[in-house]
Amino acid sequence: MQGKAKLLGHPIHQMLIVFPLGLLATSLVFDIVRLATGNPFWAQISYYMLLSGLIGGGLAAITGVIDFLSIPKYTRARTIGIVHGLGNVGVMTLFLVSFIMRNNGEHGGVPIGLSVIAALGALVTGWLGGELVDRLGVGVDVGAHLDSPSSLSNRPATDSVRDRATVRS
């Protein structure tokens, strides 16, 4: 089942999610470095990584909703998509509350604890996203296979690079 929000033949959601996941996870790493060193510089870096991750997560969510709406109703994929999406709303909410608390000057245990819980939640929702793509084929071109032509070729995934080379011979 192909996704609707695409860029150069590939689902945009799958391209965008790497940024917020990386930024939000790394913000937690810098929180741990700050706790270990006591240097407030690391808390400042974590703060800006949270901000960037929240913005990126919002953009990824928009494209995720577009793709979700193309999943047929009453399918396992639709159910998993709902849990994936709502779970990510929860994850982003926890990171947002952590960010707001830091913005109000608190950089201690509660904001970091919220980030830990959110990061663990992101592992679960990330797995669900993988289930949608890898197991259920959401966002995958119909007929995709190991010798499909490039998405830039404007040829269907059902074509074969090898078949095309044979025709030229």
DSSP string for residues in 101-159: HHHTT--SHHHHHHHHHHHHHHHHHHHHHHIIIIIT-TTPPTT--TTPPPGGGT--TTS
- pLDDT tens for each residue of 85-114: 999 999 999 999 999 999 888 777 899 999
Average pLDDT for 116-138: 94
Decide: 129 and 17 in contact? Cβ < 8 Å: yes
Q: Which pLDDT value is given to residue 108?
A: 76
Helix, strand, coil % in the chain, rounded to nearest 5: 70, 0, 25
* CB neighbours of residue 97 within 10 Å: 15
166 has a pLDDT exceeding 80 = no
Query: Could you count the other beta carbons within 10 Å of the beta carbon of residue 113?
Result: 13
Give the model's pLDDT for residue 114. 96
Quick: pLDDT tens for 139-153: 887 888 888 888 888
Share of the chain above pLDDT 90, in %: 66
Per-residue confidence (pLDDT) for residue 14, from 0 to 100: 87
pLDDT band at 41 (very low <50, low <70, confident <90, very high): very high
pLDDT at residue 20 is higher than 80: yes
- Check: pTM over 0.95? Answer yes or no: no
Average pLDDT, rounded, for the chain: 89
